[in-house]
């Protein structure tokens, strides 16, 4: 008997969809995900409100925490793994992340650059009077 091995649908659990998982193992995975997400969220709120940390680094820290929590959600809730049956899902996700990074970082970079090279307000007023 040869068994065909298909890719896994995104969102399906760690066992293939038609195989009965041990009762409880699925619940355990979601519960671990929930606990980790709650911990990361609590740290995020603490970081934003504490005065103990170096203020300019807080935004960077919050971004890192959000990326970590996104990873937790992807692995424990959406079941995206590095397994060979998940290659298609991961490739699509990687492309999505690429576009998101290009759009967000590109917009911020271009707009910051534009603001930088903008004529100062008082010069602009002089210019308009002539």
Partner 1 sequence: MNVNVALKEDVRPEARTIASEAGPAPKRIVVGYGFWIFLLSDIVMFAALFAAYAVLAHATAGGPGGAQLFNQVSVAIETGCLLASSYTCGLMSLAVGSQRRFRTYAAAVVTFALGAAFLTLELREFAGMIAVGATPQRSAFLSAFFTLVGCHGLHVTVGLIWLAVMMLQIAVKGFRATVERRLLCFSLFWHALDIIWVWLFTVVYLMGVHS
Note the residues at the interface with partner 1 (CB under 8 A).
1-13, 17-21, 23, 26-27, 30-31, 33-34, 37-38, 41, 44-45, 47-49, 55, 58-59, 62-63, 65-66, 69-70, 73-74, 77-78, 84-85, 88-89, 92-93, 95-96, 99-100, 103-104, 106-108, 111
Residue for token pair 């041990």: 22
Q: Give dist(CA 73, CA 102) in Å, integer.
A: 22
Element holding 8 (H helix, E strand)? none
CB nearer to partner 1: give 73 or 81: 73
Angle between helices 58-72 and 25-49 (to 10 degrees): 170
- In the bound state with partner 1, the residue whose beta carbon lies nearer, of 59 and 125, is 59
> Which residue's CB is nearer to partner 1, number 1 or number 128?
1
Tokens 């980790």 sit on residue: 36
């Amino acid at each position: 008997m040869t068994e065909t091995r298909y890719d896994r649908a995104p969102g399906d659990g760690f066992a293939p969809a038609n195989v009965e998982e041990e009762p409880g193992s699925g619940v355990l995975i979601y519960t671990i995900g929930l606990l980790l997400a709650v911990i990361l969220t609590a740290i995020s709120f603490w970081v934003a409100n504490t005065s103990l940390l170096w203020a300019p680094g807080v935004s960077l820290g919050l971004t890192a925490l959000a990326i970590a929590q996104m990873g937790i959600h992807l692995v424990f809730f959406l079941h995206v793994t590095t397994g060979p049956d998940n290659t298609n899902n991961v490739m699509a996700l990687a492309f999505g992340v690429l576009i998101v990074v290009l759009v967000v970082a590109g917009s911020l970079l271009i707009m910051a650059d534009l603001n930088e090279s903008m004529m100062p307000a008082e010069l602009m007023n002089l210019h308009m009077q002539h």
